[in-house]
């Protein structure tokens, strides 16, 4: 006992009170500044999605762009190759001109991670295992970046796009209010925005309607439908002239007929390829293909320099706007699939908050009343600790920027139930000592001593359970584990230190009054 000395327990408890109440205020009053608890999607409404990235597709599209480079190089250097094909993760072609073998090999060597197999002059190109892994990894991080860019332009308050695991992306969009808004956001995310400029196979253009896809593939072609009239088909060379990776900008504009169009600009490399191609192919058709749909296939009238082009055809203003956003933010190298989606309307979230607040307040009041009835003043002291405990939990969560979810609310409700436990243990010990005839001051000091090991062991095991829950849990369960851990730690501070300090402070008065029923709710037995 520290008679006359500084009551350090009470001092710490006071600091805890100031800390707890102070940092709870921004959350309670919803002030502009200060750290606040964010409401989880289940409480404020919004969209939560877990997306899977089809990383195999990234390899395919990488092979396609390598094929484009090979074609561009050979065309430009008058190297004649034949039968250039892209099969999923392999490129094959034949070199007709054996004299150029050295030149071609030197060019291929410059491409990183490429494995080259040659049988005489038949080439088979594939990616090394390390390069495949790197490509897949890049596809995921690029998808995260791309989706984040697109979402940012959507104008939501606190969107969250994060990589999860090896090939998953977590997208959280609070503040999405209507189904229509949600759908627009989802469409924007899902848009591959894969722009390709491709040469129409003029020789076979007439057979577009009748040819099967397998036949087309045999000629090294692919068939794509028209954007406005899906029945109309185009046959184009499967190796694109260039793709959206060389795009620097995309903006919505209007055509002479006041139709929304998308103007795009290419980087210098793209501009050169585009200029060279159009110069050589005057009179032929150029197909502008977006996500495997042909938007227009104009005739090339002259060399197009400057590296800009236009996508027109059947857009609404909103659509054109979204396509432009998607193009600007870059193509998704690999398509994403929906693995999990949880969308909560704002009204449901509000209902959940109301229901859990009511049960929190009711449960809390019941416990507070019960403690007073059962323990008298000791109960009131425990209740003070309980209330401060609640403030502390909110304050710490606010400081950590934690998110409050529905299970998190349940966690708080539960902590209230369990936080009284330490006080019950202590009070029972004190009563026990009082009954056996100890003086009040001795009963209190020894009561705390005796109760300590039980409280510590019990709380530490619960804390362990909470930590495991956090480590293996997902989403809402993590929130529950966090609130529970904070609650346990806070309750140890308030219930053990705080109440002890209060008793020490009140000790002279307790000793003077000698009324055990008033202070501890019991009569001293014989």
Q: Please report, as residue ranges, which positions from 392 to 421 form the binding site for another protein (by CB under 8 A).
A: 406-407, 410, 413-414, 416-418, 420-421
Examine residue 90 and tell whether it contacts another protein (CB under 8 A): no
Residue nearer to another protein on the CB measure, 136 or 186: 186
- Using the contact rule CB under 8 A, the part of the chain among 119-127, 276-284, 393-401, 468-476 near another protein is 468-476
SS (H, E, C) 68-113: HHHHHHHHHCCCCEEEEEEECCEEEEEECCHHHHHHHHHHHHHCCC
Other C-beta atoms closer than 10 Å to the C-beta of 188 total: 20
Is residue 230 within the footprint of another protein (CB under 8 A)?
no
| 111: contact with another protein by CB under 8 A | no
**H or E stretch at 225:** strand 221-225
Least Cβ distance, residue 274 to another protein (angstroms): 30
CB of 132 to another protein, least distance (A): 22
**Residues 140, 295: Cα–Cα separation, whole Å:** 28
How many chain residues are in contact with another protein, going by CB under 8 A? 80
Shortest distance, position 244 Cβ to another protein, whole Å: 19
Q: Which stretch binds another protein (CB under 8 A): 60-68, 283-291, 393-401, 429-437?
A: 429-437
CA nearest 70: which of 57, 56, 84?
84
Residue 522 touching another protein (CB under 8 A): yes
- Can residue 449 be called a binding residue for another protein (CB under 8 A)? no
Q: Tell me if 9 contacts another protein by CB under 8 A.
A: no
Q: Is 140 in the site for another protein (CB under 8 A)?
A: no
Tokens found for residue 407 = 């299970």
Q: What is the C-alpha separation between 322 and 185, in angstroms, rounded?
A: 10
Supply the minimum distance, in Å, between the C-beta of residue 126 and another protein: 28
Q: Which is nearer to another protein, 254 or 472 (CB)?
A: 472
Q: How many other C-beta atoms lie within 10 A of the C-beta of residue 339?
A: 13
Interface residue with another protein, options 11, 460, 508, 514 (CB under 8 A): 460
Using CB atoms within 10 Å of the CB of residue 25, give its burial: 0 to 12 exposed, 13 to 18 middle, 19+ buried. Answer: middle
Position 146 contacts another protein (CB under 8 A)? no
Cβ at position 317, least distance to another protein in Å: 20
236 forms beta bridges with 200, 222
Binding residues for another protein restricted to 169-228, rule: CB under 8 A: 179, 183, 186-187, 189-190
CA distance 403 to 347: 19
Is residue 321 near another protein by the rule CB under 8 A? no
- DSSP result, 268-300: HHHHHHHHHHHHHTTTSBEEEEETTEEEE-PBP
* Helix boundaries (H) for 312-376: 317-328, 346-375
Indicate the residue among 110 and 526 with the shorter CB distance to another protein. 526
Residue 41 vs residues 38, 386, 405: alpha-carbon distances, Å:
9, 28, 7
Q: How many CB atoms lie within 10 A of CB 178?
A: 10
In the numeric block, the tokens 């200060």 are attached to 34
User: Does 438 interact with another protein (rule: CB under 8 A)?
Assistant: no
Would you say 241 or 466 has its CB closer to another protein? 466
Q: State which of residues 352, 389, 403, 499 lies at the interface with another protein (CB under 8 A).
A: 352
Min separation Cβ 443 and another protein, Å: 14
Q: Using the rule CB under 8 A, is 314 a contact of another protein?
A: no
Of 14, 134, 363, 493, the one binding another protein by CB under 8 A: 363
Per CB under 8 A, 435 contacts another protein: yes
160 belongs to the binding site for another protein (CB under 8 A) = no
Instruction: Convert residues 272-311 into a mask of x (bound to another protein by CB under 8 A) and - (unbound).
Output: ----------------------------------------
52 within 8 A of 416, measured Cβ to Cβ:
no
Among 402, 466, 486, 516, binds another protein (CB under 8 A): 466
Q: Quickly list DSSP for 392-405.
A: HHHHHHHHHTPEE-
Is residue 474 close enough to count as binding another protein by CB under 8 A?
yes
Span interacting with another protein, options 32-40, 92-100, 219-227, 343-351, rule CB under 8 A: 343-351
Contact 499, 382 (CB under 8 A): yes
Helix locations, 235-345, DSSP H? 268-280, 317-328
What counts of helices (H) and strands (E) characterise the chain? 16, 19
Binding segment toward another protein, per CB under 8 A, in 221-229, 249-257, 453-461, 492-500? 453-461
Core vs surface per residue 74-103: b (16+ CB within 10 A) or e: beeeebebeebebeeeebbbebeeeebeee
380 binds another protein (CB under 8 A): no
Residue 453 binds another protein (CB under 8 A): yes
Residue placing its CB nearer to another protein in the complex, 258 or 474: 474
């Amino acid at each position: 006992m520290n008679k006359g000395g500084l009551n350090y327990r009470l001092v710490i408890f006071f600091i805890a009170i100031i800390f707890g109440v102070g940092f709870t205020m921004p959350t309670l009053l919803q002030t502009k500044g200060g750290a606040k608890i964010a409401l989880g999607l289940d409480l404020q409404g919004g969209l939560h999605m877990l997306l899977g990235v089809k990383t195999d597709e990234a390899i395919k599209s990488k092979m396609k762009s390598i094929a484009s480079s090979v074609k561009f190089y050979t065309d430009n250097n008058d190297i004649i190759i034949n039968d250039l094909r892209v099969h999923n993760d392999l490129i094959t072609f034949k070199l007709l001109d054996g004299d150029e073998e050295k030149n071609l090999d030197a060019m291929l060597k410059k491409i990183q991670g490429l494995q080259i197999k040659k049988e005489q002059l038949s080439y088979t190109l594939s990616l090394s295992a390390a390069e495949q892994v790197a490509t897949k990894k890049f596809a995921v991080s690029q998808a995260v970046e791309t989706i984040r860019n697109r979402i940012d332009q959507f104008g939501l308050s606190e969107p969250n796009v994060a990589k999860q695991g090896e090939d998953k992306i977590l997208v959280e969009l609070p503040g999405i209010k209507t189904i229509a808004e949600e759908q627009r956001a989802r469409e924007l995310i899902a848009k591959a925005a894969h722009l390709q400029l491709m040469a129409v196979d003029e020789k076979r253009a007439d057979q577009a309607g009748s040819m099967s896809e397998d036949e087309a593939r045999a000629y090294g072609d692919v068939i794509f439908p028209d954007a406005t009239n899906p029945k109309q088909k185009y046959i184009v060379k499967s190796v694109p002239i260039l793709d959206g990776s060389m795009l620097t900008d995309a903006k919505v504009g209007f055509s002479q007929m006041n139709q929304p169009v998308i103007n795009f600009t290419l980087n210098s490399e793209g501009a050169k390829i585009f200029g060279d191609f159009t110069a050589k192919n005057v009179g032929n058709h150029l197909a502008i293909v977006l996500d495997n749909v042909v938007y227009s296939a104009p005739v090339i009238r002259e060399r197009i320099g400057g590296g800009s082009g236009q996508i027109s055809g059947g857009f609404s203003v909103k659509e054109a706007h979204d396509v432009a956003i998607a193009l600007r933010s870059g193509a998704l190298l690999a398509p994403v699939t929906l693995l999990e989606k949880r969308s909560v309307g704002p009204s449901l979230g509000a209902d959940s908050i109301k229901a859990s607040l009511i049960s929190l307040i009711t449960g809390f009041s019941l416990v507070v009343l019960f403690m007073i009835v059962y323990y008298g003043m000791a109960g009131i002291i425990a209740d003070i600790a309980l209330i401060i405990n609640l403030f502390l939990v909110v304050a710490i969560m606010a400081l950590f920027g934690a998110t409050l979810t529905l299970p998190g609310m349940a966690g708080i409700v539960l902590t209230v139930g369990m936080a009284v436990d330490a006080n019950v243990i202590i009070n029972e010990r004190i009563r026990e000592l009082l009954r056996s005839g100890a003086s009040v001051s001795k009963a209190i000091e020894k009561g705390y001593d005796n109760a300590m090991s039980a409280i510590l062991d019990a709380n530490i095991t619960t804390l362990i359970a909470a930590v495991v829950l956090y480590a293996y849990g997902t989403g809402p369960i993590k929130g529950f584990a966090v609130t529970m851990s904070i609650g346990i730690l806070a309750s140890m501070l308030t219930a053990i230190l705080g109440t002890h300090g209060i008793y020490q402070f009140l000790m002279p008065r307790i000793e003077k009054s000698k009324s055990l029923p008033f202070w501890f709710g019991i009569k001293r037995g014989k």
